[in-house]
């Protein structure tokens, strides 16, 4: 999935933002929006792996 998304971002960055012709016009999402979407999907995929930050309470043994 990430390879196709990376390829799509690269292709869109190389092409024009807006194009028009006889049949109509086409406009792509901004490159900034595409990069944000890529970051969001990457973080979502990383969260599935369980490598996030965990907080634990550590109590050293000893007399209280």
Q: Phi/psi zone of residue 50: left (φ > 0), alpha (ψ -120 to 50 degrees), beta?
A: left
Task: Tally the C-alpha atoms within 13 A of residue 39's C-alpha that lie toward its C-beta.
Answer: 6
Query: Whole-structure pTM over 0.85, yes or no?
Result: no
Please enumerate in sequence order all residues whose Cβ is within 8 A of that of 29, keeping only pairs 6 or more positions apart, or say none.
12, 37
Task: Mention every residue, 6+ apart, whose C-beta is less than 8 A from residue 8.
Answer: 34
Higher pLDDT, 9 or 50: 9
Residue 2: per-residue pLDDT: 62
Sorted by where each begins, the domain ranges of the chain are 1-11+29-49
pLDDT in tens, 19-61: 888 888 888 778 788 888 888 888 887 777 765 677 788 888 8
Rounded to whole angstroms, the Cα distance separating 15 from 64 reads 68
């Amino acid at each position: 999935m990430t390879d196709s998304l990376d390829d799509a971002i690269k292709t869109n960055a190389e092409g024009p933002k807006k194009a028009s012709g006889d049949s109509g016009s086409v406009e792509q999402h901004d490159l900034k929006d595409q990069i944000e979407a890529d970051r969001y999907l990457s973080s979502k995929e990383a969260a599935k792996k369980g490598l996030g930050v965990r907080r634990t309470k550590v109590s050293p043994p000893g007399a209280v």
